[in-house]
Amino acid sequence: MLKAVLPLLALLLVTCAAPRQPASAPAPEVLRSESSSRARRAAPAPPAKASVPVLEAPPPGELPGPDSLKRLDFRGGEPQVPIGLMQGRREVRFSPKGRMRLRFGGEAERMLEAPAGSAWTVRVTDGTPAELSVRVQLEELPFADKEGLAEVQARWQARGVAVRAHVLGVLYGIAGKVIDNRRYLLLLEEELTPKQATDRQAELLRQFGVRTTLFEEVRAPARAILEMRDEAGNVVGLAQDSLYAETLDGAGFDVRQVEHDVGYDNHGFEDRSFRGTLQLSVDRHGTLAVVNVVKLEELLKGLVPSEIYARAHPEALKAQAVTARGEVLAKVGIKHLADPYLLCSEQHCAVYRGRTGEAASTSAAVEATRGQGLFSSDGKLVDSVYSAMCGGHTEDNDVVWGGPPNPSLRGRPDLIGPAEGLPTPATLAEYLQAELPAACRLSTFARAGKYRWEKRFTVEQVNALTTHLEVGPVHALSLGERGVSGRARTLTVAGEKGVTQVRGELNIRRLFGMLNSAMALVEEERDGEGHLTGWRFRGGGWGHGVGMCQTGAIGRAEAGHRYQDILRFYFNGAEVAPIY
């Protein structure tokens, strides 16, 4: 057995036999993201093997279970966030940057210590996927909007659709501050398989022109046996469902071939370095997920450079750090309900590359604003959303996402200087042509093709994009129900077989392959004989336009505004204050 560790002379194995504790009720969690789960199935027996070097596998009933990664850890007064680096892997390779302690858990806790730079591989065996049930999500409303919930319930019931309300999100406290991100989801009453759910989504889109999402519930968790192998390929231990690795000096880890940008053109793999600890856990597919448990401030150092230009003005970087901190806390308990982490490191949540993605300028901004959040006049943490470029005017939250108006998220002109006598989005054609002193136009990081833009579609392209609406060949498009920035929230599509309406700013943009924004006009194009040949979208801005305009924040910083002033402007008087 000692031969297995000759390549690693400094390897130390520690087995700590802890006395059995009397059974007691589990301590309440700070938050619980999975809405339900059944009792765990019996763990599959590990496969028969030759004698395992260093660690013997415990009997199936004694295999250690996973630590919970569905909560925030507040030890030390600063939240530690479990963020998923990748999933769906059959094996993962990593190296500690300092002396490592690997915990296999269980009543007789098994620990492995190894030196910095040692190479390790975790492989999954006997993986069993989770059993999921799925419901179609029709609507999402703020928790305070009880009247709105009743209205949408009545509307769907009038359509003959049975629905149910579900509360998503958490109420928790940090250092005396209460953070509440609860909201209502309106779900179909019927519980479906994933295949049935996607079919039902298509049916709802055809019937009502509504794009929906899926809400998943874990009925039985995924299970797997994890093998820990040393550099020579020898198995040094087995665990049920998860392994936990930490460096004794907090040096962190190098993880090999981290998959990134899944589903995008720049999809690939990259060796990356991370602060904090690692947990290798079985994911919903019965394969491996790599989870980085990291302090929120250290998370932000690897996240903020992906959200804004690291070369931007320091005051804009500070504004971005504060908004990103608030956004992370606002997403806790909202996403990845069936995954072994709270947030992912992709665009779905926030692009995070760990220490590999850090920049000195953005790290300085995180340090300068340590623990700070944005609070409204009533003391609530502001949902500090942001988009790339507002196009000269920000938008109301209720126009883009529905629900009641949020006093902190009111649209306003984003101009540096007086607005008197200048065109407004009320006359959108004139507004899009005007030379405005918009902060996002004056910024040295402005992109002319995003501030004002055009996109053309032929008749054939539009017919292909709208096939699922079942209106036949399209002969008319019109945008309506505009917000204060001119962003539309309805698109009427008229075809030879009928007329339908697509509702929602994002749904309109998605229908046409992600238009830059819904601050747009749509105009027919015809040939010399008057035949319809297509449509031209002419618009402004890049993104939903709610909250902080990132390019505008840079422009304001360059004009001498402090980050507190920038945030106060974009979030309607909200003030920066410590969260912890």
DSSP H or E run through 441: helix 439-442
Tens place of pLDDT for every residue, the chain, 580 residues? 434 433 333 333 333 333 333 333 333 222 222 233 333 333 334 433 333 333 333 333 333 333 455 567 776 678 899 999 999 999 999 999 999 999 886 555 688 899 999 999 999 988 889 888 899 999 888 888 899 999 999 999 999 999 999 999 888 777 777 788 888 999 999 999 888 998 998 889 888 878 788 898 888 889 999 999 999 999 998 988 889 999 999 999 999 999 988 877 788 999 999 999 999 999 999 999 999 999 999 999 999 999 999 999 999 999 999 999 998 988 888 888 888 888 899 888 888 999 999 999 999 999 999 999 999 988 888 989 999 999 999 999 989 987 778 899 999 999 998 878 899 999 999 999 999 999 999 999 999 999 999 999 999 999 999 999 989 999 999 999 999 999 999 999 999 999 988 888 988 999 998 999 999 999 999 999 999 999 999 999 999 999 999 999 999 999 999 999 999 999 999 999 998 8
CA distance 110 to 115: 17
> Encoding tokens for residue 323?
């908004």
Please name which of 300, 304, 324, 323 lies closest in space to residue 312, comparing C-alpha atoms: 304
- Look at the alpha carbons of 322, 326, 329, 333 in this order and tell me if their dihedral is positive or negative: negative
Pair 307, 551: CB distance under 8 Å = no
SS3 state at 208:
helix
Burial class of residue 301 (count of CB atoms within 10 Å of its CB; 0-12, 13-18, 19+)? buried
CA distance 98 to 252: 7
Q: What is the 3-state secondary structure (H, E, C) of 494-514?
A: EECCEEEEEECHHHHHHHCCC
Please name which of 134, 164, 171 lies closest in space to residue 149, comparing C-alpha atoms: 164
> Encoding tokens for residue 410?
């009111």
Please name which of 441, 436, 462 lies closest in space to residue 522, comparing C-alpha atoms: 462
pTM for the model: 0.79
CA distance 76 to 92: 30
Pair 510, 491: CB distance under 8 Å = no
259 to 120, 339, 520: CA distances (angstroms): 18, 17, 36
274 to 271, 301, 354, 532: CA distances (angstroms): 10, 11, 5, 55
Helix ranges (H only) for 241-396 are 296-307, 314-331, 360-368
